[in-house]
C-alpha cells in the first residue's frame, strides 16, 4: 500500500477544522513533496450544499502557485464528512480533478472518535493510501 506522511500536528489540525465547521463539510489543501506533507492551508467551502459537498474557494486554490514556486506540489486535498462515511462519496470520485494528490477524508460519524483516511482517485478508481508514520485511522 502506498503511504503518505503527515507533518507533526497536521492530523489534529484537520480534525480541529472539521469540528469547527460541523455540521458542514470543511476543506483545505496540503503542500508537500512526493509522499510527505509539509504545510496545511485551511480553505473555505463555497459549495451551495456545504452539508453534503465541498468546493474549495479560489483564494485557497491560488496558493498552489506560491508553493509550487517554492518547489512543493499540491500533495493532498482534505475535506470532512460530518456524518460519514470515511470513504469517498460518488461526488468525491466524480470531482477528483487532481489524480496526483492524495484525498484525505476526516469522518465525524462518531465525533468523539474522528477518523482520517487517505485515498488516491484516478479515473474513477479509488485506492486507499496509508497515512504515515503509524497514524491510526481513528485519532484520539
Which domain does 22 fall in, by range? 3-131
Q: Examine residue 104 and state whether it is found in any structural domain, yes or no.
A: yes
Do the domain assignments include residue 136? no
Could you read off the pLDDT of 25-79 as tens digits, one per residue? 999 999 999 899 999 999 999 999 999 999 999 999 999 889 989 999 999 999 9
pLDDT at 136: 43
Q: Distance between terminal CA atoms of the chain?
A: 24
Grid cell at residue 74: 499540491
Look up the CATH number of the domain holding residue 93. 3.40.140.10
Residue 92 lies in a domain: yes
- Quick one: pLDDT at residue 128? 97
For position 137, what pLDDT does the model report? 43
Domain count, the chain: 1
- For the entire predicted model, the pTM comes to 0.92
Query: Residue 22 falls within a domain, yes or no?
Result: yes
Catalytic residues: 25
The pLDDT tens digits for 105-136 are: 999 999 999 999 999 999 999 999 999 744 44
Q: Is residue 8 part of a domain?
A: yes
CA–CA distances in Å: residue 53 to residues 94, 107, 137:
12, 13, 22
Amino acid at each position: 500500500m502506498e503511504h503518505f506522511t503527515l507533518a507533526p500536528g497536521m492530523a489534529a489540525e484537520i480534525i480541529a477544522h472539521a469540528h469547527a465547521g460541523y455540521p458542514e463539510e470543511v476543506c483545505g489543501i496540503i503542500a508537500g513533496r512526493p509522499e510527505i506533507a509539509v504545510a496545511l492551508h485551511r480553505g473555505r467551502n463555497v459549495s451551495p450544499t456545504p452539508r453534503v459537498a465541498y468546493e474549495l474557494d479560489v483564494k485557497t486554490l491560488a496558493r498552489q502557485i506560491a508553493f509550487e514556486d517554492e518547489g512543493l506540489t499540491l500533495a493532498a486535498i482534505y475535506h470532512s464528512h460530518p456524518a460519514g462515511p470515511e470513504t469517498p462519496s460518488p461526488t468525491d470520485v466524480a470531482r477528483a480533478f487532481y489524480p496526483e494528490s492524495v484525498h484525505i477524508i476526516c469522518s465525524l460519524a462518531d465525533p468523539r472518535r474522528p477518523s482520517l483516511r487517505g485515498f488516491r482517485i484516478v479515473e474513477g478508481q479509488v485506492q486507499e493510501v496509508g497515512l504515515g508514520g503509524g497514524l491510526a485511522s481513528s485519532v484520539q
